[in-house]
Amino acid sequence: MTVDLAPVWLSLQLATATTVILLVLGTPLAWWLARSASWLTGPIAAVVALPLVLPPTVLGFYLLVALGPHGVIGGVTSSLGWGALAFTFPGLVIGSVIYSLPFVVRPIQDAFQAIGQGPLEAAATLRASRWDRFFSVTLPLSRRGYLTAATLGFAHTMGEFGVVLMIGGNIPGATRVLSIAIYDHVEALEYSQAHLLAGGMLLFSFMVLLGLHIINKRLERIGA
Amino acid sequence: MGNRLQFATLVFGTIGIASIPVAQPQARTDEVVVAVAANFTGAMKTIAAKYTARTGNKVTISYGSTGKLYAQIKNGAPFDVFLAADAQRPRLLEDEGRALAGSRFTYAIGRLVLWSPNKEYIDNKGNVLHHGDYRHLAIANPKTAPYGAAARDVLLALGLWRRLQRRLVYGENIAQTYQFVASGNAELGFVALSQVMTHEPSTRGSLWHIPAGLYRPIEQQAVLLRSGRATAAESFLSFLRGPEARTVIESFGYATPPTSSGANHRPRQTVRKK
């Protein structure tokens, strides 16, 4: 029995890229959601949470249309000479960023809200600039939120299936991620390969959640 | 006390109602549950409507790749009849004792085409495969979809299989493959002629009818499953063999086997000894 491990590697790459992008994009978004008094926070928060409740088929369908040569995103990328993004790794990254958005934004937003005004005002009286306050006060105090956000974003992307099935095209090395490879093996009745990959995925997910729990407990104890 | 009783009735009543259709959908004799290979979707809908109009029996249809449906049947899916896109899976089911021996017959012979919704894209010799500037060529997964295996045959025969590896995208069944091309995400793809036939001629785009010598014939076989107890199942299968269904099948671009005079469609019964 030979098991192709390329899908595992591909899933790890996809999850890493997605998590990094989401942490960068999610921070200002979460900050705005936590602090702004605008009436727009309600609708935007709802949009951010949508991937939690929408079936992956809905996202996959819209993405397939949007990424295609006549779609909103695909039209732009085509005119830039990059071609349409369906069936490509960047296409999967876009899909995953949308799909995992709430898992990253929500914990960061909660962390920002938990800090409250006190520490930031104190820092301001010490003449800390806005950026200084953010990097020296807000970020350190939010590290548990960031840890949860990164872990959930990463793990959720590792387990992504429906969206990839619809926009991926099952291409080895480009879009055949772990979950798709497992599905493929099951369909072809290659149960031993499916067992190996599925068991690995189960173990991995369990370890991630257990690790998160342990680290969180430790951070709690040292009072972060 | 009375309240409690009412509550219990409500709870168990609800459970009872909820479990009836799930537990035994095939127990009703006026309903036949059919697992259908995705390429036959269009023809099946028409045939099912005609059958229901004729007999009053209800037809419930599940679509998927032949490989997936086969795996589901092996694992106890509650289907009465299996319309595969090949002869291999029905034969395996027969060998494994999951299908009724002798019930197997060829209901349609599939035709593979290279298709694009763009009217000018595909020439009638398939030269576009060699010289086209396409980024993606869609085929169905050769491991689970017989039309995918046929597409691989063609590319191997043309000596293109290796060269095109990086441009191939795989649909998990022929319906998804078709959808990849129809949505424009892949410029062209190998699909079933029957799928293109569901379009009006004016919107059919361009296609190349693949010469039969380039791929193994797609002999699509039907089989009666052991798990199916519906008497409607047998009547459905004989309807599928009848002239009315044949007309529909041919109108979707399939060939049909020579008319059965009884022994004709009985496939070779030389049981392979293991």
Q: pLDDT tens, A156-181? A: 999 999 999 989 888 888 899 999 99
Q: What is the pLDDT of residue B6?
A: 55
Query: What pLDDT, on a 0 to 100 scale, did the predictor assign at position A170?
Result: 85
* A180 is a domain residue: yes
What tens digit of pLDDT does each residue of B35-51 get? Answer: 999 999 999 999 999 99
Instruction: Inform me whether the pLDDT recorded for B237 exceeds 50.
Output: yes
* Residues B194-223, mean pLDDT to the nearest whole number: 91
Is residue A1 domain-resident? no
pLDDT at B19: 44
Cβ contact (<8 Å) for A169 and B171? yes
Proportion of chain B above pLDDT 70, given as a percent: 83
Range of the domain at A98: 6-221
The predicted complex's ipTM stands at 0.76
pLDDT value of residue A131: 86
Question: What pLDDT, on a 0 to 100 scale, did the predictor assign at position A40?
Answer: 94
Distance to chain A for B14, nearest Cα, Å: 26
Among residues B99, B67, B146, B88, the alpha carbon closest in space to that of A186 is found at B67
> Closest-CA residue in chain A for B178?
A169
Looking at chain A, which residue has its C-alpha nearest residue B66?
A187
Tell me the per-residue pLDDT of A55-81, one tens digit each, with 9 for 90 and over.
999 999 999 889 888 888 888 888 888
% pLDDT > 90, chain A: 58
Give the per-residue SS3 of chain B. Answer: CHHHHHHHHHHHHHHHHHHHHHHCHHHCCCEEEEEEEHHHHHHHHHHHHHHHHHHCCEEEEEEECHHHHHHHHHCCCCCCEEECCCCHHHHHHHHCCCECCCCCEEEEEECEEEEECCCCCCCCCCCHHHHCCCCCEEEECCCCCHHHHHHHHHHHHCCCCCCCHHHEEEECCHHHHHHHHHCCCCCEEEEEHHHHHCCCHHHCCEEEECCHHHCCCEEEEEEEECCCCCHHHHHHHHHHHCHHHHHHHHHCCCECCCCCCCCCCCCCCCCCCC
pLDDT of residue A101: 97
List the 161-220 stretch of B: residues with Cβ below 8 A of A: 168-172, 180, 183-186
Nearest-Cα distance to chain B for A206, in Å, is 28
Distance from C-alpha of B215 to C-alpha of B210, rounded to nearest angstrom = 8
Report the mean per-residue pLDDT for chain B.
Answer: 85
Q: In the prediction, which pLDDT does B219 show?
A: 95
Question: Which residues, in sequence order, are bridge partners of residue B37?
Answer: B64
Per-residue pLDDT, A136: 86
Which pLDDT belongs to residue A1? 64
Q: Does B120 score more than 50 pLDDT?
A: yes
> Any CB–CB contact under 8 A between B54 and chain A?
no
How buried is residue A208: exposed, middle or buried, by Cβ count under 10 Å (0-12/13-18/19+)? middle
Q: What is the mean pLDDT of residues B224-229?
A: 80
Which member of B67, B141, B183 has the closest CB to residue A64?
Answer: B183
pLDDT of A224 reads 53
Instruction: Compute the average pLDDT of residues B89-97.
Output: 94
Q: Which stretch of A62-71, B14-23, B56-65 has the lowest confidence by average pLDDT?
A: B14-23
Q: How far apart are CA A196 and CA B72, in angstroms?
A: 20
Residue A41 has pLDDT above 90, yes or no: yes
Predicted confidence at residue B132, as pLDDT, reads 87
Domains of chain B plus CATH, in order, are: 25-109+218-251 (3.40.190.10), 111-214 (3.40.190.10)
> Which of B65, B74, B184 lies closest to A68 in CB terms?
B184
Residues of B in contact with A57 (CB under 8 A): none
Q: Is B123 on the interface with A (CB under 8 A)?
A: no
Our CA-based measurement puts residue A91 at a distance from the nearest CA of chain B, in whole angstroms, of 12
Tell me how far apart the alpha carbons of residues A136 and B260 are, in angstroms, rounded to a whole number.
84
CATH of the domain at A131: 1.10.3720.10
**Number of domains composing chain A:** 1
A68 and B135: CB-CB below 8 Å? no
> Average pLDDT, stretch A203-207?
92
User: What confidence score (pLDDT) does residue B189 get?
Assistant: 97
User: B96 — contact with chain A (CB < 8 Å)?
Assistant: no
> Which of the residue ranges A14-18, A125-129, B17-21, B47-51 would you say has the lowest mean pLDDT?
B17-21
Tell me: the pLDDT tens digits for B147-197?
A: 999 999 999 999 999 999 999 999 999 999 999 999 889 999 999 999 998
Contact state of B185 with A171 under an 8 Å Cβ cutoff: no
| B22 has a pLDDT exceeding 50 | no
**pLDDT attached to residue A223:** 65
pLDDT tens-digit map of A18-36: 999 999 999 999 999 999 9
Is A185 a domain residue? yes
Q: Assess whether pLDDT exceeds 50 at residue B267.
A: no
Q: Give me the residue from A86, A165, A188 closest to B144, CB to CB.
A: A188
From the CA of A56, how many Å to the nearest CA of chain B? 16
pLDDT at B149 (0 to 100): 95
pLDDT for residue B268 is more than 50: no
Residues on chain A touching B74 (C-beta within 8 angstroms): 189
- Tell me the nearest-neighbour CA distance from B185 into chain A, angstroms: 5
Is residue A142 a contact partner of residue A115, using CB atoms and an 8 Å limit? yes
What is the pLDDT confidence band of residue B260, given thresholds at 50, 70 and 90?
Answer: low
Alpha-carbon span A73 to B142, nearest angstrom: 31
Q: Which residues of A touch B (CB under 8 A)?
A: 64-65, 67-70, 74, 83-84, 86-87, 165, 169-171, 183-184, 186-189
pLDDT band (50, 70, 90) for residue B71: confident
- Does the beta-carbon distance from A187 to B183 stay under 8 Å? no
Question: Residue B54 has what pLDDT?
Answer: 92
